[in-house]
Structure 1
Amino acid sequence: MNHPSSRMRPVIAVVAVALALVLQVSVFPHVAWHGIVPNLCLLVVVGAALTINAPAAMVLGFVAGVALDLAPPADHVAGRWALALTVVAFLAARIRQDVKPTAAAVVATVAAASFIGTSIFALSGLLLGDSASVPDLLQVIAVAVLWDVLLTPIVLPPLMTLFGRLDPQLAAA
């Protein structure tokens, strides 16, 4: 039997991604370091992957990635963030199966997800001729991971609580 809140899961997940995207492209560029902003969409995807079922988290990762790929001021080949955030959702969901989501585990998962997602995005750009040099990419990856880890204590607890309420069977597990 479906839990009543499970019908609202897609709507709330899309609203969370939309809010993250709006903040990421409109507010955070004002505090960017060398043009690098925190990836709030990645944080939403990781929060979802740590609290809801893996297929739903992967769909959310794809949706969030497509939104990032198409939102202005995107200047890259579409599909790169979709690929990166789908992989991030898969890996974070796999981590969730093996590790209880303690505070330290969540921060480590965000760091790993940020590194992997940003690396996939950067390497796909390198292969497609969209990106700068490898040393520049390494700097972007390091700063992106730092940003995402710094925002983890602020963003992930309310997101994980929200997503946990949407999928109570997994939250209680």
Structure 2
Amino acid sequence: MRGATTVLLLAFAVLLQAAVVNRLPLPWGSAPDLVVLTVVAIALGATPVSGALAGFSAGLALDVLPPADHEIGRYALVLCLAGYVVGKLHDSPWRSRAWPYLVAFGAALGVALGFATLGLVLGTPHVGGGTFLFVVPINVGITMLVSPVVLAPVRRLRRYLANGDLSDITDTPWATGGIRL
């Protein structure tokens, strides 16, 4: 059930990001990155490999969706690395109520800087010094502004579906073939 929940959450975040959020006419030219926050919420409750897989799949989906104006693989690479690092922080001794938001800040900053750096290295025409000075801080700030709306519900939903009533559906006789007529 946890795997299906993860896939549905990632698909919803990617579609919402590509179809709605990226098309909003925001005055500062940057939109919050809901996919980074979703990957962080998933990777905080998973292993590093699961976090990397979640980041890679979400990043690849963002790379190939039609409004993308960058090289395929840029988001996949940076979100894969972010998911892996966040998954490694899963068992951190410094956990507190603010821990998910601190991790999300680091991941949002790392993804924005990594994406911009890859664009600079690959020669993307609209990436320059202004990207690092203005676009990255605005993107991270907006992403952190919406982080309570994304992180808490995603983490709560994954925890509920993993530990709630639906988690032992495989123990029922009708699901395991134990009922004979």
1:37 aligns with 2:23: no
* Residue of structure 2 equivalent to 1:153: 148
- TM-score, normalising length: structure 1: 0.85
> Does the 8 Å CA contact 2:51/2:86 hold for their aligned counterparts?
no
Counterpart in the other structure of 2:169: none
Distance (Å, rounded) in 2 between the aligned partners of 1:138 and 1:65: 24
Shift of 1:101: 4.3
The reply to whether residue 53 of structure 1 matches residue 47 of structure 2 is: yes
Pair 22,12 (structure 1): closer, same or farther in 2 beyond 3 Å: same
Instruction: Identify the residue that residue 7 of structure 2 maps to in structure 1.
Output: 14
Moved over 4 A (4+): none
SS at the partner of 1:77?
coil
1:132 matches 2:121 = no
> Higher helix proportion, which one?
1
Within 5 Å, which residues of 2 pair with 1:17-166? 17-28=10-21, 29-99=23-93, 101-130=95-124, 131-165=126-160
The gaps in structure 2 that reach 5 residues or longer are 164-181
Q: Please say which structure displays the higher CA radius of gyration.
A: 2
Cα offset, 1:164, TM superposition: 2.5
CA pair 33-109 structure 1, distance change in 2 beyond 3 A: farther
Give the length in aligned residue pairs. 161
State the 1:133 CA deviation. 1.1
The offset of 1:161, in angstroms, is 1.6
Deviation of 1:100 (Å)? 5.2
- Whichever residue aligns with residue 126 of structure 1, its letter is L
Name the CA shift for 1:9/1:151 in 2 (closer, same or farther; >3 Å). same
CA shift for structure 1 position 26: 2.2
Q: How many angstroms does 1:9 deviate by?
A: 2.4
For the 8 Å contact 2:48–2:83, the answer to whether it is kept is yes
Q: TM-score, normalised by structure 2?
A: 0.81
- RMSD after superposition: 1.7
| 1:18 Cα offset (Å) | 1.5
- Report the Cα distance in structure 1 between the residues aligned to 2:78 and 2:27, rounded to whole angstroms: 22
Once residues 100 and 167 of structure 1 are traced to their aligned partners in structure 2, the CA distance between those partners, rounded to angstroms, is 24
- d(CA) in 2 for partners of 1:12, 1:53: 16
CA deviations on 1:41-69 (whole Å, 9 max, x unpaired) are 11110001111222112101100000111
Structure 1 unpaired stretches of 5+: 1-7, 169-173
* Identity level (%): 32
